[in-house]
Structures are given as C-alpha cells and as structure tokens.
Amino acid sequence: MKLHNFNLSSASYRVRIALELKGLAYEYVSYVLRRGDQRSDGFLKLNPQGLVPALELDGGTVLAQSAAIIEYLDEAHPNPPLLPKKPLARARVRAIAQAICCDIHPLNNLRVLKYLSNELALPDEVRDRWYHHWITVGFEGLEKQLAGEPETGRFCHGDTPGLADICLVPQVTNARRFNVDLASFPTIRRIDEACMALPAFTAAAPENQPEAKA
Amino acid sequence: MKLHNFNLSSASYRVRIALELKGLAYEYVSYVLRRGDQRSDGFLKLNPQGLVPALELDGGTVLAQSAAIIEYLDEAHPNPPLLPKKPLARARVRAIAQAICCDIHPLNNLRVLKYLSNELALPDEVRDRWYHHWITVGFEGLEKQLAGEPETGRFCHGDTPGLADICLVPQVTNARRFNVDLASFPTIRRIDEACMALPAFTAAAPENQPEAKA
C-alpha cells in the first residue's frame, strides 16, 4: 500500500493513525501542500478530487477521503476494530468523528486559509480569529457531549481507541499549532493525552514523518 | 422517530431522503435556522453540537450528524440498502459522499455565510463568490470522478440510489438556489435528474416540507 499524504495534513494524520493501530505497513509518498503537489497532473490521475490523503492499494485501486479510507481499513482488516459492533454505538462514534471532519476541520484547512489571505486579502489576525472561532465552537459542543455521556471512557467511546479518537487527536494537534486556548476543554485534553500515550498515535504524528526530518 | 430538522438545511434533506427510501415514518420537528432555533436550550439538551439534523429514536436516544444517522438507518433497517456490500465499493460511495459532506457543504452552510457577512463584514457579492467557488471546485473533482469511473451508473454507484446520491442531490439543490452555473457538470446533472424522478427524493425536497407550505 502507498499512502499519498503530507505530514501536516490532519486528514492524512488520521489515516496514518488507523494504519498504525491496525499494524499495516505502507509506503509513504509525500505531497507538500504549500507547493501545490496535490494539484499535479500525476496526482489528479490518481485522485481527481485533488486532495490528500489517498490510499493506493496493492491492486492499484485508489481510495480517497480519510474517513472512507479508515472505514475501509476497518472492514478489510477487522482487528483490532476501530468502530464498536452495535449500530447505536457506531452512530455515536461516527457522529463524534463527523463533528470534527465535517464541522471543524474543513473550515480551517490550508486551501481555505489561503482563500482568506489571497482572494479576500484578509489580515493574518482576522484569518487566525476565523481559525480559532471554528475550533472553539466545535470543541464546545464536543466537550459537552464527551463530558456528559456515559459512553465516554478513557477514550471517546469506552476504553479502546477508535475512529472518534483518530479524528480528535489531529484536530487537537492543529489547535495547539495555532495556539488555540484549550483550557475549557478538559475532557478533550484528557482523551488526547490518553491517545498520545499509545505508540500508534505518536508514530503517526506530524513531527515523526519524513518531511519533519528532512 | 422524530427528525429535528429544517427544510432548507441540506444535511436535513439528506436524512429525509434516506428515511423516505427506507419507507420509515417520522415526526417532523422544525427548527428555523435563521432565527437560531438550533441554539435553544431545549435543543442543546438533545444535541450538544447545536446543529440539525438530529434523529430522536423512540427509545429517546438522539443521533447527530447526517451521514452517521444515514449509516445507522442502513444498519438498523437494511432494506433497501443505501451502501453496496463489498468494502471497496463502500469506500467509493463513502468517498463521494464525503467529498460533498466534508469538502463542499461545510464551507457554505448558514453559520459560515453569517460569519462572512457579520463578523468579516464582507459585501454580499464577495460572500456569493465564496459560495460559488467551493461548489465549483468540489463539483469539478466529482464530475471528473463520476464521468471517468466505470462504477458510475444511472446513479453515483450503479443503478440503485444510495448514500452518495443522497448527499449529491441536496448539494445540487443548494447550487441552483445560489445560481451556480452547472453547465460543466453534465454527469452530476444527469444523476440529479435520475434521482428527482424518484418519489423519495421529491417527497424529501425543501419545497415539500411544512415550512414551505406555512
């Protein structure tokens, strides 16, 4: 398998964690997003959506979209599971994941920040306020949910890491990189810390990828 | 079941289509988003994320996030299926859905447009250009994928409607409402038309909900 990805892309980071939790080996193919590698003709042939991550399977099939890739990995390599078995529990885990993947991260990824700076010519401090705003609003809802629901355990759902944690940790990493104040989110910080105590999460972290060591 | 939703919310529209395709009856609870109904204390108790749709099951459990709700409905009520059986096919359908739910829609929903107008004080034409930009970029990738892949049939994946179509149609509806030029997206328009020939899609459409008739 080849993972087409970038160390600082948080959607890429999600897939790396899933691959590490599953114990699956992969070849790392790097795309420097600021340079626009993901819009090259070669990559657009692999993934017309022009976004990383994309997972190229040994048979040549290319899968796009981080959460779709992670669900595929869970179906094709069921152990250890990244989603619980029961439909209601699965729905809860997916809803936490989507609160991040659909309601926080898309507003703050690089192409959006570039549009704010370049097309809208907004000053850096306005762009940064935008960034903080969407993380803070999103984390407020998530913190309430995680702190208030009995299904929350050491991790987002019970005592084993799964899809929700895989999405949460890269979002916390992004928040820290942009100096978002996380003081009001003790449950999120506690779960992030529990995850970062696991080798799969640290092995997948941006600072431990080839680009950071180059 | 009670669906907490709003007729013009495209994430709500997705869940309504799924319920119609499954033939499941539900009570319609309306939240006027412009009035901020979804931030009321009553609704925040049901869904701390403060976003519609939310599906309240007869047992009282509340499910959030449209794609999580739809996958739940598909697991709890398997017929007719909204996802194919094979992992690779499921991954393709989910990736198309997520290209819309994660990369197009979140940038253009009401709370974001309000932020552009109110917090950033951007003129309406700049806000509208933003709106058009993200749909156009997203649809360009999707059109290439749908037109180029043999799995595309009468619908996004083969000849039965499913999760990808459920996400595509409300996004096309939004695009039309904001006068986005769809001339370059013949495959998307063809699939939208095939869907709108089905009673489930029309029954779920914004113009056929209580708010539009009030």
Residue-wise pLDDT tens digits, A41-55: 999 999 998 999 999
| Pairing status of strand A54-56 against strand A62-64 | antiparallel
CA distance A153 to A139: 18
Q: Which two tokens stand for residue A72?
A: 């595929």
Map A151-208 to HEC letters: CECCCCCECCCCHHHHHHHHHHHHHHHCCCCCCCCHHHHHHHHHHHCCHHHHHCCHHH
Reduce the DSSP state of residue B68 to 3 states and report it: helix
Report residues of chain A scoring pLDDT below 70: none
A114 at B interface, C-beta within 8 A: no
CA distance A141 to B51: 10
Q: What is the dihedral of CA B97, A156, B50, A51, to 10 degrees?
A: -30
Give the minimum alpha-carbon distance from A55 to chain B in angstroms, rounded to a whole number. 11
CA distance B120 to A37: 31
pLDDT > 90? residue B34: no
Q: Which two tokens stand for residue B49?
A: 């994320």
Of residues A138, A202, A210, A198, the one with CA closest to residue A170: A202
CA distance B5 to B170: 14
Q: What is the ipTM of this complex?
A: 0.97
pLDDT > 90? residue B213: no
Q: Which helix (H) or strand (E) holds A61?
A: none
For residue B90, list chain A residues with Cβ-Cβ distance below 8 A.
Answer: 71-72, 75
Give the minimum alpha-carbon distance from A99 to chain B in angstroms, rounded to a whole number. 7
CA distance B30 to B43: 11
Quote the pTM value: 0.97
pLDDT of residue A82: 98
| Pairing status of strand A2-5 against strand A27-30 | parallel
Neighbours of B78 (CB within 10 A): 11
pLDDT digits (tens, 9 = 90+) for B154-190: 999 999 999 999 999 999 999 999 999 999 999 999 9
pLDDT digits (tens, 9 = 90+) for B66-118: 999 999 999 999 999 999 999 999 999 999 999 999 999 999 999 999 999 99
Nearest CB to B61; choose among A75, A88, A112: A88
